[in-house]
Each structure stands twice: as C-alpha cells, then as structure tokens.
Structure 1
Amino acid sequence: MTRWAMVADLRRCVGCQTCTAACKHANATPPGVQWRRVLDMEFGEYPNVQRAFVPVGCQHCDEPPCLDVCPTTATKKRADGIVTIDYDICIGCAYCAVACPYQARYKTERASFAYGLASEHEQARFDPDRLAVATKCTFCVDRVDAGLAKGQTPGVDPEATPACANACIAEALAFGDLDDPNSNVSKLLAENRHFTLHEELGTGPGMFYLWDSAEGGDAAEEATR
C-alpha cells in the first residue's frame, strides 16, 4: 500500500512563507484563501521563551471528520490517504469546514483577484468549479498522479512533489510514502522526535512535525493544540 504524508521540520522552518506563496501560485487561490499557512508561535515563560513556525493546512487524516459530515459524499479519502473534494457534487453547505479541527477548509462565493482584475496567471488558472464549494489543500494530487503515471517518485522527483515542499528554502518540508520504510518521510520519523496536531482527537493526521528537545517538543505540541 501507499500512504502519502508530509513532514515539517520545525527546527528548520524560518517562517518565510515561501510555501504559502508557492501554493497560491500553483493553485491560483483567491485573496484570503491559503491552503498552506505558516503560524508564527511563541510559547514558554520569560526568560525561557521559544518561537516556532508551524506550517499547517489540510492534514489528510486517516479518519477525517470532514468526510463523515458531508451529506453528498463530495469529500472522499483515496486509498493512498489523500483526502479530496468532488466539486461536481459539493453543495457548499460548509459542514466539513465546521467539522475540520484544523481550520483547513475554505468556501469562496464569488470570483475575486489580488488586484481587482485578474492577472494573466489568475485568468489561466481560474477554476469556476471552485466557486460556492468547499476547497482545501490537495497535496497537489494532480502533480502526484501525473508524476506516478510517468514513473516518477513523489517526494523525490520535483515534478511529482507538492509545490510547497519544492519551494521550501530551508528544506523543512518533506513529502513521501509513509508505508515505505526507505522513503524520506519514514526515515525522518524514525530518526526524530515528532508529533501530530490534535492527537487526542484520533483523526490520524498525515502531516507530522519534528522537534528536537524533549522539553521543547512538549511545549511545541501543547502550543499547537
């Protein structure tokens, strides 16, 4: 089997938001819609204050709460773990947005562009099917599937890898097959202390976070709940 997952190394992330910009460029999301965001967080007490930058978005859960509440089955989970939305049958009720504990879903009622009129890029990438429906990070599933069809390896070959991971200047984001013990993400998780967001909910996120010290790890995990 294959289980696509992403790993964010919080020791490396510098909060530059390049992944956010790369996601917006790749998906032409409208103003105010950020499928990939980076939270700027501080935690601890003076003088032991720490700062962390935490990339967030759809967690592509093993047990996605958004799937169970969808009245039309528009939200689906593929066998490889990627959670998708079928825009053709989504009715825009936003139940999924309410159910998502990661605030990862958006709904855009009407077309809007960064500077009023659509730029050439925005015109080329504008998708009317994404109006009045739920949208979110897809792990760049179109890139993953196209790369696999060409015999490429997502997470290794840039053309088959999510745009955010490709763009990360600090190499803090990694994408790969969690079920392959030799993949980059499996090795990172085996060699480092890690956690997921809202573990207590039992959603089984497909996005993992690396943190080094035991004390720092506990604080970072608590701060992201």
Structure 2
Amino acid sequence: MENSRRDFLRRTCALVAGVSVSPFAANGTTDTETEQAIKYAIIHDETKCIGCNACAEACRETNHVPEGVSRLSIEKTGPYGEYPNQYYHFTRHSCEHCEDAPCVNVCPTGAAYIDKKTGIVSVKADKCVGCQYCLLACPYDIRFINPVTKAADKCDFCQETNLKQGKQPACVEVCPTNALVFGNLKDPNSLLVSTLKTNATQRNKQDLGTRPKLFRITAKPGEISI
C-alpha cells in the first residue's frame, strides 16, 4: 500500500514538474521571521581542523547513515606552498541550515521543513515521495536519497539522536581539536555567539539570500601528522 502511494505521488510530481511550485511549504514553516527562543548554528574553525574525519564517522554511527552516502564530509584541498613547507585546507561539507531554505520552498508534500522551535532544517521521511526536487534546489549540493528509507536525507544537527538526549551533535562531541562550535544564535552568552563576535567568519553563497547557519573561520596551514 505504501509503495503504491509513493508511486502515485511520484507520477503526480512528474506531471507538475513544469509548473512553478509555491514558495511556501504545506506546513507553513518558511516564515523565517517567526520569533523563536532558539536558533541553532554551527562554526567550523578551519584553523583548528586537522582532517581526521572523526566528525564524519561519529555522524554515521550516531545517526545510522548507510554506507555509500554521507550527511557530513571533510573536503581536503591542496597541497599549498612549496615543499617541505606544504599544507592543506579542510572544509566541512554538510547542510547549511538556511533560514530561507530552497529545499523547503520546493517540497510538494511538506516533508522538508524548518523546525519553528530550533531553526533546524529537517526531513519527515514518512512524507517524502522521493521526487528529488529538494536535491535539485539545494545550492550546496548536500542532500541525498537514503538507500534504506528511500527518502531525502541530510544533516539535522542530530535532532533525533543526540539533541533529544541533551547532548551536542555527534560531530561536535568527538572533535579532538575543538574545531566545531555548536549553539544558539539567540543566546548572547553562548560560546557560539562569543566566537562569532571575536573571529572573522564566512558563509557560503550569501548572495543567494539563503542566510545559512554554517559559519567558517577560514583556513590556515595545518594537517594531522602521521
């Protein structure tokens, strides 16, 4: 019965593929001006990241992410400089948790949504029909279809795992160099806010108006020693 429902909805989505999708999700969670007490964000300090991939492995284990896909990866570029003084840069590749999220705006079933209480961009797997509109709309190319659930998937700051237990996201907990800072942008006394105030940061593709909540302290030389 469930498969039949999915097939029907997929065909329906295909029929309307040439029609503009309303910029408002079915559950109305695209109203980013709604006042809220919590607005989660994360900082990746590239000056501290050593490219060990502990964050990616912890994410996979904690959130039961199947092999072959990933919610989080660390992209290595380089080497830069002249031998023997060469170095690499490490960049976090994961959901940016946009305040105006294109993936949410195009979702025809309301499966993609922004949690009004926390600002987390997430997915209701039972509502997803696998149409892949959100994959195409994401300007950061981070969403994927989970081969087990057959639904769109991505980082949700461990919303259904660690956060429910009062913990930090798995990636933050295991980082050996404290390169990740997670917290509430609405809390002026949080480590997140104080770090943002005392460091120059960048965000990806700000010109698109998505207002991402993944901040980067830009890279300097550094790599794990083996």
Q: Which runs of 5+ in 2 are unaligned?
A: 1-36, 222-226
1:73 and 2:80 aligned: no
Aligned to 1:128: none
Moved over 4 A (4+): 43-50
SS of equivalent residue, structure 1 residue 188: helix
Aligned to 2:143: 105
- After TM superposition, give the deviation of residue 104 of structure 1 in Å: 1.4
CA RMSD of aligned residues (A): 2.1
Aligned to 2:94: 57
1:134 and 2:152 aligned: yes
Aligned to 1:183: 190
- After TM superposition, give the deviation of residue 108 of structure 1 in Å: 3.0
Q: Letter of the 1:178 partner, please give it.
A: L
The question of whether the paired residues in 2 share the 8 Å contact of 1:192 and 1:211 is answered with no
Q: Letter of the 1:19 partner, please give it.
A: C
Q: How far, CA to CA, are the matches of 1:43 and 1:170 in structure 2?
A: 21
- After TM superposition, give the deviation of residue 42 of structure 1 in Å: 3.1
Q: Letter of the 1:24 partner, please give it.
A: R
1:169 and 2:205 aligned: no
1:90 and 2:147 aligned: no
Aligned to 1:12: 48
Question: Map of 1:208-219 to 2, 5 A cutoff?
Answer: 208-211=215-218
Aligned to 1:121: none
The structure richer in helix per residue is 1
- After TM superposition, give the deviation of residue 212 of structure 1 in Å: 7.2
Q: Which runs of 5+ in 1 are unaligned?
A: 112-130, 148-159, 217-225
Q: Letter of the 1:76 partner, please give it.
A: Y
- After TM superposition, give the deviation of residue 51 of structure 1 in Å: 2.9
- After TM superposition, give the deviation of residue 40 of structure 1 in Å: 0.6
- If the length of structure 2 is used for normalisation, what is the TM-score? 0.75
Q: How far, CA to CA, are the matches of 2:140 and 2:113 in structure 1?
A: 17
Q: How far, CA to CA, are the matches of 1:207 and 1:43 in structure 2?
A: 25
Aligned to 2:58: 22
The question of whether the paired residues in 2 share the 8 Å contact of 1:193 and 1:212 is answered with no
Cα deviation code 1:104-146 (max 9, x no counterpart): 111134x4xxxxxxxxxxxxxxxxxxx2110111101122233
SS of equivalent residue, structure 2 residue 103: helix
Q: How far, CA to CA, are the matches of 2:185 and 2:54 in structure 1?
A: 25
Distance 1:43 1:85, change over 3 A: same
- If the length of structure 1 is used for normalisation, what is the TM-score? 0.75
Q: Letter of the 2:175 partner, please give it.
A: C
Distance 1:44 1:198, change over 3 A: farther
Distance 1:212 1:107, change over 3 A: closer
Percent of counterpart pairs with the same letter?
A: 35
1:32 and 2:62 aligned: no
Q: Letter of the 1:72 partner, please give it.
A: T
Q: How far, CA to CA, are the matches of 1:108 and 1:44 in structure 2?
A: 35
Question: Please, which of 163, 187, 203 is the counterpart of residue 144 of structure 1?
Answer: 163
